[in-house]
């Protein structure tokens, strides 16, 4: 366990490209599945800090844009041998100060909850982490008059608007990166998009998210599309625990393995519009 005196020997600086191998080593110590490529995508769309002591990176924190006055905070990690000296608080406070967003959103593990509460974050929901390999995924059958099709370049403004309306966050930067690194499908009715679902490589296999749909049935249709396309492949999806998907995913052997508390510091987020709601997030770190 680190001491307060040791924390005073620590320096905090901006995260750089060359820090990613050390950052990934920290996440592996937490048994988080992030590959170097996953860290690279996050650094491409956000900014981060690292803490160094004796030329060793011992902590990280990152933030990501979600509008002019708001962002998301994630990847707050302190190496196990340096815990107990308030380094997590120092890193979080430094990230809050440097990003400058009046409103910040994060997903907190049980271990991080006390710290974030002391820093003014309050819980607004829970996210259930599901993962596994669906070998018998249901066939995605859209309702009459609807179809699933790939997201095209002309759809991006509509996709951004749907995600913003459902989450209260402008995710333009991270959505563009997710589509660059993965694929997306839309649920269309009379050529109008009413639902979207993205999938990309992540960790041990693939991740599904975000998923925006007008109702639970259509969310299942979109998720079924990706589970069928990746049948037998390890897949992760992070869903609001109250969205109605958890039991269904468990039945498909994409089982719940953990959960986090969604917290906000600053203004409350807008309620979803009638056009759709969020049934899966892009990633716990990204929101």
Provide φ and ψ at 159, rounded to 5°.
Answer: -65, -45
Please list, in sequence order, all residues whose beta carbon lies within 8 angstroms of the beta carbon of residue 114, skipping any fewer than 6 positions away. Answer: none
Which residue in this structure is represented by tokens 């800090």? 49
Check whether residue 76 and residue 139 sit in a common domain: no
Check whether residue 153 and residue 271 sit in a common domain: yes
* pLDDT tens, residue order, the chain (287 aa): 555 555 567 899 999 999 999 999 999 999 999 999 999 999 999 999 999 999 999 999 999 999 999 999 999 999 999 988 899 999 999 999 999 999 999 999 999 999 999 999 999 999 999 999 977 888 889 999 999 999 998 999 999 999 999 999 999 999 999 999 899 999 999 989 999 999 999 999 999 999 999 999 999 999 999 999 988 999 999 999 999 999 999 999 999 999 999 999 998 877 766 679 999 999 999 98
Answer for the pair 67, 99: CB distance below 8 angstroms, yes or no: no
Answer for the pair 221, 248: CB distance below 8 angstroms, yes or no: no
How many other C-beta atoms can be found within 10 angstroms of the C-beta atom of residue 149? 13
Is residue 115 in some structural domain? no
**Which residue segment(s) compose the domain that 246 sits in?**
129-280
- Write the CA distances from 49 to 18, 103, 207, integer angstroms: 13, 19, 25
Check whether residue 53 and residue 137 sit in a common domain: no
- Residue length of the chain: 287
185: preceding bond cis by omega (within 30 degrees)? no
What's the whole-model pTM score? 0.92
DSSP secondary-structure letter at 97?
H
Check whether residue 144 and residue 92 sit in a common domain: no
What CATH number did the domain enclosing 170 receive? Answer: 3.40.630.30
| Alpha carbons 61 and 75: distance in angstroms, whole number | 5
Check whether residue 135 and residue 231 sit in a common domain: yes
Structure tokens that stand for 185 in this block: 């499908």
Tell me which of 101, 120, 139 is where a domain ends: 101
Answer for the pair 194, 223: CB distance below 8 angstroms, yes or no: no
Largest CA distance in the chain: 67
> Total domain count for the chain?
2
Beta-bridge partner residues of 202: 205
């Amino acid at each position: 366990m680190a001491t307060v005196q040791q924390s005073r020997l620590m320096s905090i600086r901006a995260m750089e490209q060359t820090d990613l191998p050390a950052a990934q080593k920290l996440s592996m110590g937490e048994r988080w599945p992030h590959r170097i490529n996953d860290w690279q995508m996050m650094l491409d769309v956000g900014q981060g800090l690292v803490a160094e002591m004796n030329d060793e990176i011992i902590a990280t924190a990152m933030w990501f844009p979600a509008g002019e006055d708001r962002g998301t905070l994630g990847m707050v990690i302190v190496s196990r041998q340096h815990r107990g000296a308030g380094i997590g608080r120092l890193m979080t406070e430094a990230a809050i100060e440097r990003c400058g967003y009046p409103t910040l959103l994060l997903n907190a593990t049980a271990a991080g909850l006390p710290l974030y509460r002391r820093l003014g974050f309050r819980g607004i929901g829970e996210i259930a982490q599901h993962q596994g390999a669906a070998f018998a995924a249901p066939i995605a059958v859209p309702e009459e008059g609807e179809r699933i099709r790939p997201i095209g370049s002309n759809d991006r403004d509509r996709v951004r608007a749907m995600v913003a309306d459902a989450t209260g966050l402008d995710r333009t930067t991270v959505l563009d990166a997710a589509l660059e690194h993965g694929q997306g499908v839309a649920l269309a009715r009379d050529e109008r998009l009413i639902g979207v679902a993205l999938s990309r490589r992540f960790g041990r296999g693939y991740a599904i998210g975000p998923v925006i749909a007008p109702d639970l049935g259509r969310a299942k249709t979109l998720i079924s599309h990706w589970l069928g396309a990746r049948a037998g492949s390890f897949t992760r999806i992070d869903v609001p625990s109250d969205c109605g998907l958890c039991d269904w995913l468990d039945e498909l052997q994409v089982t719940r393995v953990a959960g986090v508390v969604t917290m906000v510091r600053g203004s409350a987020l807008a309620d979803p519009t009638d056009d759709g709601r969020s049934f899966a997030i892009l990633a716990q770190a990204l929101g």
